[in-house]
Amino acid sequence: MALVVQKYGGSSLESADRIKRVAERIVATKKAGNDVVVVCSAMGDTTDELLDLAQQVNPAPPEREMDMLLTAGERISNSLVAMAIAAQGAEAWSFTGSQAGVVTTSVHGNARIIDVTPSRVTEALEQGYVALVAGFQGVAQDTKDITTLGRGGSDTTAVALAAALNADVCEIYSDVDGVYTADPRVVPDARKLDTVTYEEMLELAASGSKILHLRSVEYARRYGVPIRVRSSYSDKPGTTVTGSIEEIPVEQALITGVAHDRSEAKITVTGVPDHTGAAARIFRVIADAEIDIDMVLQNVSSTVSGRTDITFTLSKANGAKAVKELEKVKAEIGFESVLYDDHVGKVSLVGAGMRSHPGVTATFCEALAEAGVNIEIINTSEIRISVLIRDAQLDDAVRAIHEAFELGGDEEAVVYAGSGR
């Protein structure tokens, strides 16, 4: 008998019918002899509908109230799933994040989990109930206000609960049936992976893969929780995320997959005076605006002009703000201009095998060159190579790299409606 945590995303819960299907799976898991804890996101369109209502009464709603509003969504879905479970012969109790002991910081809209003390969940399990916990929410340790956990919050809730309960596995259900060697919509012969290590999944998530959110993978790795990525539309086993690259024998280490990301933009600050502190000042201005930077490129300064260009990438969502903040300090730092380019894309190759196979970088760059793709910035980690290219060439680049490293499988990749989340 195992303790299983299952998380169902919004598209798996988008109607009364889907809710009943999800309840069937939960009841089957319970009847197989397992203790079952379920985390549900809000039903399909609920969060968007609530956001729309909020916008209608206040274009800039206070964050505390936004959290009170949005958490109604998970309350609705979890109690409905509990009811559906009862209709199918098992017993279930639903709990809010607060009731389930999810304690967080007080940053509304992006709270971090500080601790999980799920005594009411444990009690429910001991009494033979399925316990449902509203995802994406918790209670602030100091103010006792309700908080939401930011993007990927329901995945994080599920993994954090699994860690606190010492669960045997945390199953994340959506409309994709696992982690693939590349996005199946771009690469028709992308292959589903049976397993992926934590570090590789972290790199894939950070490089644009939307299957799992970075924070939940970090949490899983820290507490050693195995994650299974599965589809709520089939019984396929999915992909298991577990283990460390340290545990993989060198000779078995592989290249795992290709990720791509269209969400970044590029900023180039031109003609930066080449004196100590100019670059630091530029990055400090960006940091003070609470904007994260991804890739950085600094050219060698021209011996003629004594100036250089500094280029970096960031999320498109922060683009306008970053440009504004830099323009403010133009005179102070003395650079020439700020250029903004949002037609860039990032493609990444991830694999533990990179560490032990020299020539991966060479093969990577050759594949891109043969596909006519120009590399603007390159950035690597121990198990990842990322390059910034023109976004129009992203699909070609992904396919070229996938081909060059022979990642394709024989079966046609299965893509469900609404695939991606």
Looking at 16-24, 108-116, 226-234, 376-384, which segment touches its own copies (CB under 8 A)? 16-24
Q: How far is the CB of 309 from its own copies (least distance, A)?
A: 44
d(CA 166, CA 161): 8
Please give the C-alpha separations between residue 171 and each of 25, 122, 229, 271, in angstroms, as whole numbers.
Answer: 12, 18, 6, 51
Position among 28, 51, 66, 297 found at the interface with its own copies (CB under 8 A): 66
Position among 3, 28, 51, 86 found at the interface with its own copies (CB under 8 A): 86
Under the binding rule (CB under 8 A), the answer on residue 19 touching its own copies is yes
Nearer to its own copies, 62 or 372 (CB): 62
Instruction: Please give the structure tokens belonging to residue 281.
Output: 């000042």
Position among 2, 48, 144, 342 found at the interface with its own copies (CB under 8 A): 144
Under the binding rule (CB under 8 A), the answer on residue 362 touching its own copies is no
- Tokens 């992006």 locate to 110
Q: How far is the CB of 275 from its own copies (least distance, A)?
A: 47
Instruction: Determine the residue type at 68.
Output: M
Q: How far is the CB of 91 from its own copies (least distance, A)?
A: 8
**Conformation bin of residue 224: beta by default, left when phi > 0, alpha when psi is -120 to 50:** left
Instruction: Please give the structure tokens belonging to residue 339.
Output: 């250029």
Whose CA is closest to 228, among 213, 242, 208? 242
Under the binding rule (CB under 8 A), the answer on residue 79 touching its own copies is yes
Give how far the C-alpha of residue 262 lies from the chain's centroid of Cα atoms, to the nearest Å: 14
Nearer to its own copies, 94 or 216 (CB): 94
Position among 26, 38, 84, 116 found at the interface with its own copies (CB under 8 A): 84
Looking at 66-74, 259-267, 322-330, 349-357, which segment touches its own copies (CB under 8 A)? 66-74
Per rule CB under 8 A, count of chain residues that contact its own copies: 39
Under the binding rule (CB under 8 A), the answer on residue 8 touching its own copies is no
Pairing of the two strands 239-241 and 227-231: antiparallel
Position among 3, 28, 51, 69 found at the interface with its own copies (CB under 8 A): 69
Give how far the C-alpha of residue 87 lies from the chain's centroid of Cα atoms, to the nearest Å: 34
Instruction: Please give the structure tokens belonging to residue 260.
Output: 């791509």
Please return the burial class of 268, using the count of CB atoms within 10 Å of its CB with bins 0-12, 13-18 and 19+: middle
Q: How far is the CB of 106 from its own copies (least distance, A)?
A: 13
Provide CB contacts within 8 A for 382, sequence distance 6+. 354, 355
Whose CA is closest to 75, among 95, 59, 57? 95
Position among 1, 33, 59, 331 found at the interface with its own copies (CB under 8 A): 59
Position among 11, 94, 137, 348 found at the interface with its own copies (CB under 8 A): 94
- Tokens 């809730």 locate to 157
Under the binding rule (CB under 8 A), the answer on residue 21 touching its own copies is no
E runs forming strands in 274-306 = 296-298
Position among 3, 28, 51, 54 found at the interface with its own copies (CB under 8 A): 54
Instruction: Determine the residue type at 406.
Output: E
Position among 51, 68, 289, 378 found at the interface with its own copies (CB under 8 A): 68
Position among 76, 279, 333, 375 found at the interface with its own copies (CB under 8 A): 76
Residue 316, CA atoms < 13 Å, CB-side half-sphere = 12
**DSSP 8-state assignment for residue 137:** E
Under the binding rule (CB under 8 A), the answer on residue 277 touching its own copies is no
Under the binding rule (CB under 8 A), the answer on residue 89 touching its own copies is no
Q: How far is the CB of 28 from its own copies (least distance, A)?
A: 17
Position among 3, 51, 65, 325 found at the interface with its own copies (CB under 8 A): 65
**DSSP 8-state assignment for residue 191:** -
Q: Are 16 and 178 in contact (CB under 8 A)?
A: no
CA geometry: angle 285, 153, 212, nearest 5 deg = 90
Looking at 19-27, 203-211, 326-334, 368-376, which segment touches its own copies (CB under 8 A)? 19-27
Nearer to its own copies, 16 or 339 (CB): 16
**DSSP 8-state assignment for residue 192:** B
Under the binding rule (CB under 8 A), the answer on residue 117 touching its own copies is no
Position among 5, 27, 38, 82 found at the interface with its own copies (CB under 8 A): 82
Binding site for its own copies (CB under 8 A): 16, 19-20, 23, 50, 53-54, 56-62, 64-66, 68-69, 71-73, 75-76, 78-84, 86-87, 92-94, 99, 120, 144
